[in-house]
Structure 1
Amino acid sequence: MFKGVATAIITPFDENYEVDYKALEEFALFQMNYVDGLVVLGTTGEAPTIDENEREKIVSKVVELVNKKIPVIVGTGSNNPKHVLYNNKLAEKSGADGLLIVSPYYNKSTQKGLVEYFSYVAQRTELPIILYNVPSRTGGNILTDTAIEIFEKNKNVIGIKEASGNISQIAELISKKPEDMFVYSGNDDQALPLMALGGDGVISVFSNVLPKQMKELTEAILTNDYNKAQEINKKYNSLMRKLFVEVNPIPVKYAVSKLGYCKNILRLPLISISENGKTVIDNSFEELNIL
C-alpha cells in the first residue's frame, strides 16, 4: 500500500457544521506535496458523525483530486458488519485504493470472533484492508497471533495499524509476522521505534500539521539514517504528544486551523479545545517557529 507516512486527515466543517469541501480540497492538495498516502474518514476525520451522503462525496472528491498519485485509504470500520460492508461499497464505487477497518467496539469480540469478523468482511471486498488495533477506543486488543491468522487467511488483508501503545506487543508482532505483512504505527511518538524494529511507516495525526517533517523522519528511518531520524524525533516529539493533550482530533483541528486550512469547528460529541489546550498548542508552535 505505502511505506513511510500517510496522513489521517481532518474533515473541515463550516460555521453551520456542514462539510467544507473547498477547505478539504485545499488541505488534501497541501498534504499531497509531502506524504505517501492519505487516510480519509478515520478517527481524526470524525468519521462517526459523517452521514452516508457526506461520506460518498468526501471520498469521491479526495480520490478525484489525488488522481492515483498516492493511495487514498478510507476508514470504513464500525461495530456492525452491515455498515462496514456498505461503507466498503461506497469506497469501491468512489475509486479508493484501500480500507482501514477498526476492530468492533462496544460489542467487542473474542480473538476467534475477530478472525471470523475480519474474514467475513474481507471476503466481501476486493480492496486491500489494513486492520486497525486501537484498544483505548475499542475496549479490545487484536493480539499478535490473531492479527497474523487474519492476514494469512485473507489475501486482501495486507497489514495492520498498531495503536495499542504496547511496544512489546508490536515488537513481538514484527518478529513473528510474514515478511509481506505491513505494520504501521498508529501513534506518532512510536513511529521511530516501530519502524526501527522493522515496521513500514505511520498513519499520522502529526502530519496534518507538519507533513514535510514527518516525511523526513520516515525517510530517514527507511534509509537507515538513524542519527537524522533521532534528531527529527527529538525536535518534534513534544508536539506529537501535545496533539493529544485532549481527545483526538480536538487539538489537531485547532492546530490545523492556526495554519489556515480549516475552521476550529467540530461536531458533537467533540467540542472545541479548552483555553488550557490552546495554550499548550500555541506554546509548541512558538517553540518550533511554526507560522
Structure 2
Amino acid sequence: MFKGVGTAMITPFDENEEVDYESLKKFVKFQLTNNIDSLIVLGTTGEAPAIEDDEREKIVDIVLEIVDGKIPVIIGTGTNNVKHVLKYNKMAEKAGADGVLIVTPYYNKSTQKGLVEYYKYIAERTSLPIIIYNVPSRTGINVNPETAIEIHHIANNVIGIKEASSNISQIVELFSIKPDTFSVFSGNDDQVLPIMALGGDGVISVTSNVAPKAIVELTHLLLVNDLPNARRINNNYTFFNKLLFREVNPIPIKYAVSLLGLCKNILRLPLVSGTLETQTLVKKEMERLGLI
C-alpha cells in the first residue's frame, strides 16, 4: 500500500474538546509539505475510541480532500464489534480511502482461529486493502506469525500487518514464513531499523507527527540498504522515541505537536495532559533535535 512512513495522525481538539478542523487542515498540509509517504487517520494516536461517527466522517473527508490523491490515506476502522467495523469500512470506501487499518478485537479478545475467521469475514465485505494491527499491550491478544499468513492466504486483500507486539523474535519468525505479497510495517518507532533491516516496508509512526522529514529520510535510507546513515538518524531519535511513550500514547505526542503550533494540548477523557516532567523533557529534546 505504501513504502516508507505513514504518520499515525493525532486528532486536534479545541478548548471545548470539539474536533478542531482548522488545525486538522494545517496538520495535514504540514505532513504533505514534509513529503510524508502516507497518512493513517483515526488510529490509536488519533484517539479513535473517543471520536463520534459524525466527527469520523468529517475528519476523513477533510483529510482526503486536502491530500487529493497525492499519497495513500488509510483509515483506522477497527473496534471489537464486527458490525461497527463493517460500517466504518463502508464509510471509508464511500469517502475514497486507499485502505483500512483494523486492530484485533479487544476486551472480548479471540482465539487464533477466531482471528482468522474475523478477518476473513471482514475482508469478504470490503473492496479496500486491509492492514492488520497487532498491538497486544492494548488489546490483550497477539497475532501469531502463522495466523497472520493464514489470514493473508485466505483473504488476499489483507495485504500486511502493523507489528506493534515489540517481540522481535516473533517478527523475525514472521519474516521467515511470509510471502512477498504480504507487507510488514513497524508499529513502534524504536523498532523501525531492525524491522526494516529484516525486509519491512516501513513504519506507521508516532514520531513523524512532529518529525516527518527525519523519519521519511530514515525509512528511505533503509529501503535502499544504507544502514550507516540510517543508524545515524535512528540513534539521534532514540531518546525522543522513548520519551513519546513515557506516558500513554498520544499524551506526549499531542503536547509535542502543540509545540509546533499545529494543535492545542487537549485530549479527551480518559486521556489527560502529561505531567510537567514529561512536557519539560519532550520540549528539551525537541529543541536539541532542532524541531522547535
TM range (shorter): over 0.9
Q: Which residue of 2 aligns with 1:4?
A: 4
Query: In structure 1, what is the equivalent of residue 236 of structure 2?
Result: 235
- What is the rounded CA distance, in whole Å, between the counterparts of 1:175 and 1:26 in structure 2? 41
User: What letter corresponds to residue 14 of structure 2 in structure 1?
Assistant: D
Number of the residue aligned with 1:20 = 20
Between the aligned partners of 1:99 and 1:83, the Cα distance in structure 2 is 13
For the pair 1:285 / 2:283, whether they are aligned, the reply is no
CA distance in structure 2 between the aligned counterparts of 1:203 and 1:84, rounded to whole angstroms: 20
Q: In terms of mean alpha carbon deviation, does 29-38 or 256-265 score higher?
A: 29-38
Q: RMSD of the alignment, in Å?
A: 0.7
Local SS of the residue matching 2:86: helix
Q: Distance in 2 between matches of 1:126 and 1:199?
A: 24
Gap runs ≥5 in structure 2: none
Q: Which residue of 2 aligns with 1:189?
A: 190
Q: d(CA) in 1 for partners of 2:103 and 2:217?
A: 28
* Identical positions, percent: 64
Tell me the residue number matched to 1:246. 247
Question: How many angstroms does 1:282 deviate by?
Answer: 1.7
1:258 corresponding residue in structure 2: 259
Q: Which amino acid aligns with 1:120?
A: Y
In the alignment of these two chains, the number of paired residues is: 291
Alignment-derived partner of residue 30 in structure 1: 30
Shift of 1:174: 1.0
TM alignment of 1:87-166, pairs within 5 A: 87-166=88-167
Shift of 1:86: 0.7
Are residue 275 (structure 1) and residue 276 (structure 2) matched?
Answer: yes
Taking structure 2 as the reference length, what is the TM-score of the superposition? 0.99
Deviations 1:118-175 (A, max 9, x none): 1001100000000000000000000000000001111211000000000010111011
The 2-side partners of 1:30 and 1:102 are apart by 27
Partner of 1:73: 74
Q: Which amino acid aligns with 1:161?
A: K
| 1:180, distance to aligned residue in structure 2 (A) | 1.2
TM-score under structure 1 normalisation? Answer: 0.99
Shift in Å, 1:41: 0.2
Residues 211 and 291 of structure 2 are in contact (CA less than 8 Å); yes or no, is this contact kept in structure 1?
no
CA contact (8 A) 2:210 2:291 kept: no
Q: Is the 8 A contact 2:5 2:205 kept in 1?
A: yes
Deviation at 1:276, TM superposition (A): 1.3
Q: Deviations over 1:160-213 (max 9, x none)?
A: 000000001011101110111000000001000000001110000000010000
Give the match's secondary structure for 2:234.
Answer: helix
Amino acid at match of 1:9: M
Alpha-carbon distance in structure 2 between the residues aligned to 1:180 and 1:254 = 38
Show CA shifts across 1:86-130 (max 9, x none): 111111111111000000000000000000001001100000000
* Deviation at residue 7 of structure 1 after TM alignment: 0.1
